Amino acid sequence: MAHAALAQERVFALRETIARLEGRPLPEQAAAEAGLLAEQLAGQLAEQLADLEDGGVAARRRAGEARLATGVEAFDQALDGGLPLDAITEIRSLGFRHAGAASGLALALAALLQATEEKRAREPAPFLWIGDRMGGGEAGLPYAPGLKAFGLDIRRFFQALPQRLEDALWLAEAALQSGLFAATLLEVRGNPPAFGLTESRRLSLRAKAAGRPLLLLRQAGEEEASSAAFRLLAEPAPALARRLPDGSMLGGSIGHPVFRLTLEKSRNPAPLSLFLEWNPHDRRFLALDPARQAQAFEPKAAHSGAALSAPSDRPDPAPALGAVLAFERAFERAS
């Protein structure tokens, strides 16, 4: 339709130019054609506006799909709608004693992404874990039965252990560029000089171009400048008692894992801190009340004393030491 309208416009302009050169008024047929052309152009403009509106709706829909909603309203609002699926999200731990919390949060996000893809009737893409050998020696390696109990589909879980950090960065860049993986997790130990702002920028551009997320797991690292859209500090938190089907709590039991998250890098002026519980069976997060979480944790003294009384037939204790003597004078008297 656009080509036909353009051709008619050129014919009408040519006829008008010829009439002016000959000194004749515009023919009636040309005037009628001009009116028809105006109607066609108006229809074409309406179609273009409709296409633009549909494109805007599609763009907004694609923007919504480019975010992974966690289901926790306060957390999703702080993340501008959810975890970005075309950028870097950094998850940091204070030390290797908190490596389980940081790794668990990354795996929970991967399981949530798989669940979201399944709800959209899509075949979930595999998940790639690029581990660090030194970090694996401290924090351990992924365990297949544990990953399955945590909510992950282990049939779509791949792991790589490069020898050098440079190889790990190359592998992460290649994985993002291929677009074959639903998410790529890159584990980095501390703040190595070989992984700086330049390398982070390259990975960010790859993630943006491929529309795939990169979870940067920085074990025992400090805050530093990077191209990550968000940075989370993950710390372990005491789990609540296990919930029964009727909603009550089973006393003395251990429930689902709980993470204490602090949003260190975001557009929000103040950091956000909250407690999230991960339900591996339903594959969803649940926000916990901080006051209730503080009451659930009752620290105990390191040396609280013996739990049982001493037996009555125990051996006699060693006799108490006598007064301290001057050894030289005592030796002289003995000699």
pLDDT single digits (tens) 89-114: 999 999 999 999 999 999 999 999 99
Report the alpha-carbon distance of residue 143 to residue 113 in Å, rounded.
20
Q: Tell whether the model's pLDDT for residue 323 goes beyond 80.
A: no
Domain boundaries along the sequence of the chain: 2-64, 68-229
Higher pLDDT, 111 or 41: 111
* Listed ranges 164-178, 284-298, 304-318; the one with the highest mean pLDDT: 164-178
pLDDT at 331: 57
pLDDT at 206: 95
pLDDT at 17: 65
pLDDT in tens, 68-86: 999 999 999 999 999 999 9
CATH of domain 68-229: 3.40.50.300
Q: In the β-sheet with 272-279, what is the strand arrangement from edge to edge?
A: 157-160, 127-130, 183-189, 214-219, 88-92, 230-237, 258-265, 272-279, 284-288
Higher pLDDT, 140 or 31: 140
Q: Tell whether the model's pLDDT for residue 272 goes beyond 90.
A: no
In degrees and rounded to multiples of 5, residue 293 shows phi and psi of -70, -35
Higher pLDDT, 236 or 124: 236
Report the alpha-carbon distance of residue 69 to residue 113 in Å, rounded.
9
pLDDT in tens, 188-229: 999 999 999 999 999 999 999 999 999 999 999 999 999 999
pLDDT at 40: 59
Q: Is-contact 248 266, C-beta < 8 A? A: no
Average pLDDT over residues 306-330: 64
pLDDT in tens, 183-195: 999 999 999 999 9
Q: Tell whether the model's pLDDT for residue 280 goes beyond 60.
A: yes
pLDDT at 207: 96
pLDDT at 140: 83
Determine which helix (DSSP H) or strand (DSSP E) holds 159, and give its type and residue range. strand 157-160
> Reduced to 3 states, what is the DSSP secondary structure of residue 60?
helix
Q: Could you tell me where the DSSP H helices lie in 23-142?
A: 28-65, 73-78, 99-119, 133-139
Report the alpha-carbon distance of residue 272 to residue 78 in Å, rounded.
8
pLDDT at 10: 63
Q: Tell whether the model's pLDDT for residue 284 goes beyond 90.
A: yes
Higher pLDDT, 233 or 12: 233
pLDDT at 65: 59
pLDDT at 72: 94
pLDDT band at 63 (very low <50, low <70, confident <90, very high): very low
Q: Is-contact 142 171, C-beta < 8 A? A: no
pLDDT band at 51 (very low <50, low <70, confident <90, very high): low
